[in-house]
Amino acid sequence: MGLYEISGQRQMDFMKKFDYIREAGTEGEKKAAETILQELKSFGVEGRLESFEIDTCRIQEASFSVTEPYKKEYVIAGYGRSGSTPSGGVEAPFCYVENGDDISLSYGKGKIVLVNQPVTCDLYNRLVEAGVSGFLTITGNPTDQGIDRIPLERSLRKMKETPIQGGILHYTDAVEMVEMGASRARLRIKQEYGKGISHNVIARIPGSDPAGEILTLTAHYDSVPAGKGAYDNMAGAAIIMELCRYFSKHRPRRTMEFVWFGAEEKGLVGSRNYVTVHEEELKNHAFNMNVDLAGQLVGGTVVGVTGDVSVCHMIEYMAHEAGIGMVTKNSIWGSDSNSFAWKGVPAMTLNRDGFGMHTRYDTIEYISPWSLQRSAQLLGYIGDRLGNIPVMPFKKEIPENFRMELEEYFKRIS
């Protein structure tokens, strides 16, 4: 493979076109999808949009105040998808339950509780079972100043029922409340649910063997509302764009499909839609090569493989051939590769250590052309070898333990 043709600077120039927030279902995300289409057209590849509906949630009000033994209102953000309190809010006793251990939660019935960590679906259900009246979680650290003291919204995964509502409080305010013995508080959350439209952007490069299998190279292009998502994941989107450019000039034996997923940050919604719409065709898909979190210079590269352990050995061998350092992990991965593995297609996610994910610091200033180039060269080398090898060097199967984990994973996020 002509690795010298891969350009990190060209990827950086592409990324500069997306220096804005691209939350799923917004005009920003739609603008990004159209820009990806234009980029494909600039080097002679036709792309298309596949639209799908997503659930949306907009927090209209989030307020919290201590009412006893002192009175003070604190700045909070709301927990999306946790529902709305009654119009006057919820007033109840208050207590700190640390990590939500069983002993601490045994004192939480009928109270608004403060917990250290973000509330997952599992923890939410434990809070409901404990009979709490509402919850706050802690964000930030004691060194934060200025804008970093303002909590950012979080969101639960979609829940069937949301009997209790929650918010996010900054670390320093949490410390003050506990030290001052806050014993009663009022929480008010108001949010509105609706529907929105997101898009997957798809481009296909037919292989020289029309009957051959299909390889997919994928990345998501949406961002969280808090930041511009350069590391997570416009860098990944740039990497597969660069490889689409390369393989459009050097057509492999196998067909390659390039997909930029929307709404990944809403629970892999774009990739789940893709594998559902294309489920019949998936019998022809041999392997998914996904990128999520990339582009920062200092760090290490990990390839998470959801498939037979022989896939890990193959990728390690190819990385040695390419002369690019990385390690593999044989596990399910919290990214779009899970959607393919869930439907029986072995999959991988290329991931590089980095800083600022899901924060306002996730900007292009921290992205390196050198890192983009190396990751694209590694993925391109793997893609080129697998795209042209006569017989795929691993079985198309998902180990039973991964199948069971994936079923549980998608139950949690659906």
Would 17 be classed as within a structural domain?
Answer: yes
The string over 194-221, giving b where at least 16 C-beta atoms fall within 10 Å of a residue's C-beta and e elsewhere, is eebbbbbbbbbbebeeeebbbbbbbbbb
Q: Quick one: pLDDT at residue 12?
A: 98
Q: Are 105 and 130 in contact (CB under 8 A)?
A: yes
User: Which residue among 116, 147, 182 closes a domain?
Assistant: 182
The arithmetic mean of pLDDT across residues 113-130, rounded, is 94
Would 63 be classed as within a structural domain?
Answer: no
Give me the CATH number covering residue 355.
3.40.630.10
Residues 263 and 353 in one domain: yes
User: Which residue among 182, 210, 240 closes a domain?
Assistant: 182
Residues 314 and 356 in one domain: yes
Give me the CATH number covering residue 138.
3.50.30.30
Helix (H) or strand (E) run with residue 414 in it: none
Would 95 be classed as within a structural domain?
Answer: yes
pLDDT for 27 beyond 90: yes
Structural domain containing residue 331: 3-56+195-413
Q: Quick one: pLDDT at residue 99?
A: 96
Q: Tens of pLDDT along 273-314?
A: 999 999 999 999 999 999 999 999 999 999 999 999 999 999
Residues 242 and 151 in one domain: no
Q: Quick one: pLDDT at residue 376?
A: 98
CA–CA distance, 243 with 380 (Å, rounded to integer): 6
Q: Quick one: pLDDT at residue 2?
A: 64
pLDDT for 1 beyond 70: no
Residues 306 and 252 in one domain: yes
User: Which residue among 182, 212, 245 closes a domain?
Assistant: 182
DSSP code for 262: S
pLDDT for 95 beyond 90: yes
Q: Tens of pLDDT along 316-344?
A: 999 999 999 999 999 999 999 999 999 99
183 - beta bridge partners?
Answer: none
Q: Are 167 and 189 in contact (CB under 8 A)?
A: yes
Would 190 be classed as within a structural domain?
Answer: no
Residues 81 and 48 in one domain: no
Q: Tens of pLDDT along 146-167?
A: 999 999 888 887 777 899 999 9
Would 35 be classed as within a structural domain?
Answer: yes
Residues 274 and 394 in one domain: yes
Q: Quick one: pLDDT at residue 274?
A: 98
Residues 45 and 77 in one domain: no
Q: Which tops the pLDDT comparison, 352 or 152?
A: 352
The arithmetic mean of pLDDT across residues 256-271, rounded, is 97
373 - beta bridge partners?
Answer: none
Residues 211 and 123 in one domain: no
CA–CA distance, 222 with 233 (Å, rounded to integer): 7
195: confidence class by pLDDT, cuts 50, 70, 90 = very high
CA–CA distance, 199 with 186 (Å, rounded to integer): 40
Residues 339 and 360 in one domain: yes
∠ CA 136-138-142, rounded to 5°:
145
DSSP code for 331: S
Q: Quick one: pLDDT at residue 210?
A: 72
Would 189 be classed as within a structural domain?
Answer: no
Whole-prediction pTM value? 0.93
Residues 126 and 21 in one domain: no
The number of distinct structural domains making up the chain is: 2
Residues 167 and 246 in one domain: no
Would 61 be classed as within a structural domain?
Answer: no
Would 62 be classed as within a structural domain?
Answer: no
Residues 150 and 199 in one domain: no
137 - beta bridge partners?
Answer: 115, 168
Give alpha helix (H) positions in 147-285: 171-179, 235-249, 269-277
Q: Quick one: pLDDT at residue 412?
A: 79
